[in-house]
Each structure stands twice: as C-alpha cells, then as structure tokens.
Amino acid sequence: MRSNIHRKILVTIFLSFLVFGANAQSPFHGLENLFTTPRNYIIHYTKTPPVIDGDINDSIWNQAIWTDEFQDIEGDKKPHPTLHTQVKMLWGDSCLYIAAKLQEPNVWAYETRHDAIVYHDNDFEVFINPNNTIHQYYEFEVNALNTIFDLFLDRPYRDRGDAMINYNAEGLRTAVKVQGTLNNPKDTDKGWTVEIAIPFKAITMGNNINIPADGDLWRINFSRVEWDTNVHNGKYVKQTTASGELKPEHNWVWSAQGVIDMHFPERWGYLQFSKTTTGNNAFTMPYSELQKRYLWLIYYREYLYFIKHHRYALLLKQLGISNKIVISNKVNLLTLEATKHQFMGLISDKESNQVWTINQQGAINQISKENE
C-alpha cells in the first residue's frame, strides 16, 4: 500500500512538470528543481569512535564540522525552516558515525514500537546509498524516545521498489538526549540531539563488508519531519484542517530534493570519505556525476512521455534532448535505445572507454565501450 501511495504522489509530481517542448531553450526546462546541485560533505576518519550516548559534546566530535542548516525539502520554493537542524559525521574502521542537533521548543514522541512508522511522530531520518547506483539503499528513522525504524529498499517506490521492513541493521547503535523534558507541554525545551553508529556490515550487500576507502563517494541525505501541534489534555496533538484532515507535516532536509519525496536518491547529497582525521573539506564534483545528470534528464523525460503517451519515446528528439552535450569542455554523445515498454540511455565521450547507462527502472550502471 505504501508503494502505491508513493507512485500516485510521483505521478502528481511529474504531471506538474508537463511543460516542456521540443523547442525549449534548455533541456532542463520545467525540471529545474530536480537539477539543482546537491550538497556535499567531506567525512574524515577517526581512530577513536565517539561514545554513542546522545551527548554530542564528546571531544571526538571536534574533528568534524557541522553541515549547512537544513532547508525545506523543495528547496527555495518554500520558506526556510523555522527551527535549526544540523548534522556532523565521522567514519572509523567499522562504522559510520552521525551526530545531529535539532532545535525544538516542544520535544515530544509517543511511538515505542520498533519498525512502527516513526515519522508519525517528529523524527530524524537518515538515507544512505553506499554504491551510488540509486538502487539498494537504506533508511533509518528515530524519534525522541529513541524508537527505531530501519528498512532496506531494492529501488525507489516510483520504480516499483518495495521496502524490506523486516530488515534489521545488525549492530546499529543509537542514542537520544533531550535538552529539556520529553512530552511536557508545561515548559519550553531547547531541543534534542541524536547519535548514531551504523556498522558498515549492516549496509553491505553480500559477504564482503563494504568498508570505504579514501576518496570513495556515497550518497546520503537527512530528513526531519516536524508536525504542527496543539496541546490537549496534557498531550501534544497534531493540528487538523477545517475539514478534519491532518495538516501536512514539514519536511526539512540537508540537501534539497526538489520534490516532496525523499525517495529520489539521485537528489541526495554527496558523502566523500577522507582518510585524514581533519583538514581539507573542499569537494570537487566528479566528471561522471556531471555526465549522469543527462541520464537523469532522459529518465525524467521518458517518464513524462510515458504518462502522456502510454509508451516510451524511441528518439531523443521526441524528448527535446540533443545527442551531443559538452561537459567540462568534452563532447559527450547521448544515445537512446528504446522500445515502447523499456529504454536505456547511454552517455560517453571520445576520450574515455567507459559508458554510463540508465534504464526505465532508474538503475545506473557503467560498462565499457567494447560491451555496448
């Protein structure tokens, strides 16, 4: 049922983008919010792990810098969040470490069951795609009671992915500390802090543990769900509209998605691993990521085309996309191989032997030109 809801939301999102034409000045016209540059973070190595107790004043955390403050999930289309949220990260020999601080004058949480829908409370969420293929990713949610919802998705809901809710992250450690009093409307709180240790073995497919190497690039994003509430009989109760429906929650994120849906992994931020304990935090966008932007353009345009025509376009010109693109002063060739029911987009330049591809399920792969 959850998957069906996400697919209906996705259709609504894409219908709102049905404004492009073959003569559009920019191939990204109408989809600009899906092509803003994601944020990035250089994550440094630590020999000594932080103590996971919810107290982010541990001296180990001085090695890490705070991210930019969270923004609305749609980016500049919506006002900046009214409450501050930031994250910092480290990595060690066995785990990814995350610390988060959430400003909150009314800290509350009522859900205590593991793998319940934690975002029905105010919560903090982590999304990780270690292989940067957009498929096979993980989601972790935690509320102020330290209740955990952990799940694995083979691919996004929009591509008929299913959430494996019975997945449990072996060795996951989380802790929460409230700066104030939990579930007490009589006072004003400062907020709550979260610490998380995610073992690399818990976010690895197969038997070989995916321990990052210096320079490796993952995709990651963070979300904060915040509900507007009133106090009734000493409890926080979510606000409703005049018709009695729940008011929509606020979705605040580190790297803007451009749509109200966290399950667009290609929109997540870049996490680059550094073996140094401190130092350079400068990030350079990899050339291959600039190439992939045009694969995602094909994917989005084909999705729109299918909604309108009930089949995929067979030619790039039907999508208003040129077959030659200049990226970093290199001429790239875009190719579309398609039938009415499936497609594959390809991009490569003359200097490289590698070709990046995308298909109708949004799977990103790299092949050599000899295998085309």
User: How does pLDDT run across 17-48, given as a tens digit for each residue?
Assistant: 554 444 446 889 999 999 999 999 999 999 99
As beta bridge partners, residue 42 has 272
Average pLDDT over residues 226-235: 96
The CATH 2.60.40.1190 portion of the chain extends over 38-274
Q: What is the pLDDT of residue 14?
A: 60
1 pLDDT above the threshold of 60: no
Q: What is the pLDDT of residue 352?
A: 84
d(CA 286, CA 272): 11
Q: What is the pLDDT of residue 10?
A: 58
The residues, any chain, with a CB within 8 Å of residue 266's CB and separated by 6 or more, are: 134, 219, 292, 296, 362
d(CA 69, CA 252): 10
Looking at domain 38-274, which of 2.60.40.1190, 3.50.40.10, 3.30.420.40, 1.10.10.10 is its CATH number? 2.60.40.1190
pLDDT, tens digit (0-9, with 9 covering 90-100), for 50-76: 999 999 999 999 999 999 999 999 999
Q: What is the pLDDT of residue 4?
A: 47
pLDDT, tens digit (0-9, with 9 covering 90-100), for 270-314: 999 999 988 888 999 999 999 999 999 999 999 999 999 999 999
What is the separation of C-alpha 269 from the centre of its chain, rounded to a whole number of angstroms? 7
